[in-house]
Amino acid sequence: MFHRSVSALRLGRLLACLSLLVCYHGIAQDNVAPVPKSLRVTHILGLQGLKENTNGTLTIQAQTLRFQPHDGIAAEIKVSSIQEVALGVQDKEVGGMPMAIGRVATPYEGGRVIALFAHKKYDIVTVKYRDSDGGFHGAIFQLNKGEAQVLKSELQAGGVPVIEGEKPAEKTKQAGQS
Amino acid sequence: MKASKKSSSIVIVPATLLILASWPSQLFAGKHPAVAKWELQVDTVESGDVNIGPDFKVAIYENLLKELARTKRYESVFRDGDRNANGVHNLLILKTTVESYTAGSEEKRAVTSLAGATRLKVLSKLSTQDGQVVLERSVSGNVRFFGGNLRATHNLAHNVAKAIEQSTLPVVPVSASEKATDPADR
């Protein structure tokens, strides 16, 4: 009898502790602001004062889209100034210039075989925005495949219209032709 | 006596030359005014009926701004919608419309060397604020072998800037304020 009451007491304490822990976790989540997701991206072009093809991280924090290059000063775009964000896909060669040179230098046309495996699809994010003077800007970022969806959901939450681009037809289309 | 004259000339001549060298613009500003330059506004790229991605349109626009500023032919290059361009009397407006676009593939280019070229052709129209067309030309930019697809936009912008640079621009009009203040100079 005594043994059973002790085990019940232990179980009760354990349950109380667990419920406290769950409650505390909930309170802690309510008080702390959500940690902004940072994405590793490549700035293709468009941001003022930054070189083309710069690697860095992209975050959305306090209604600001912030690109922090690995070395150098960060560039910021206010979410309220963004007019539109477009998502697309491009295939690009991995390894950059050294890979391209190595591919060309490979004998017996071996570079062509390497090229088959040296390409990867990337998400391309185009941000259209206006500066304080009303001037139109466009910035293009390259993300790993699938990561653009993370950015899309965060921007949509901020009220930015996001359009998912279709892959353009692979043949020439003349203006004015039907 | 002769020696003192000589020494004074040794001092005066370099001093005069120094003064002339340090304030040439102030001394000759009235007689030889600096050549007036046009200012340029680059409008956003119109795609017309051509199915082209927004990344290409933005890349053409941004590369045009960069390449045209690099020519140093204009006092300043304004972006589309820039309020600073309002009221500028010597403003040229560049409108770009995509005429044709062939989406390429970097992978196809690397594997075959023949297929996969990215081709772009635009109609560049440079006009004054009152609608007088200064230049209207079809310009193309391609990537055939090396580089990403967006490199076509860089090549295109370079060709557009080159075409505009080679064209003859009309004489910069005199603003109303300049007419009122300096009628003798005209």
Contacts of B150 in chain A (CB under 8 A): 44-45, 90, 140
Q: For chain B, list residues whose CB is within 8 angstroms of any CB belonging to chain A.
A: 44, 48-55, 57-59, 61-63, 78-84, 97-103, 105-107, 110-112, 119, 146, 148-150
Contacts of A126 in chain B (CB under 8 A): 53-55, 58
Contacts of B49 in chain A (CB under 8 A): 173, 175-177
Q: Write down the domain spans for chain A.
A: 1-32, 38-164
What is the interface size between A and B, counted as CB pairs within 8 Å?
120
pLDDT along chain A (178 residues), means of 10: 60 61 51 69 93 93 92 92 93 82 85 84 95 96 92 89 67 44
User: What span, in angstroms and rounded, lies between the C-alpha atoms of A9 and B136?
Assistant: 90
Confidence of residue B8 (pLDDT cuts 50, 70, 90): low
B35 is written with which tokens?
Answer: 């050549």
Distances (CA, A) of B46 to A70, B85, B95, B96: 35, 20, 8, 6
Q: Once rounded to an integer, what is the mean pLDDT over residues B101-129? A: 90
| Shortest CA distance from A174: residue in chain B | B100
- What was the pLDDT predicted at A106? 87
Out of A116, A119, A128, closest to residue B106 by CB: A119
Contacts of B101 in chain A (CB under 8 A): 168, 172-173
Any residues with CB less than 8 A from the CB of A49 and at least 6 apart, and which?
A73, A75
| Shortest CA distance from A120: residue in chain B | B107
pTM: 0.76
How distant is the alpha carbon of residue A174 from its chain centre?
A: 34
B170 is written with which tokens?
Answer: 């009309």
Residues B120, B140 contacting (CB under 8 angstroms): yes
- Confirm whether the ipTM is greater than 0.90: no
Quick one: fold of A38-164?
PH-domain like (2.30.29)
Asked if pLDDT for residue B86 goes beyond 60, the answer is: yes
CATH placement of domain B38-168: 3.40.50.10610
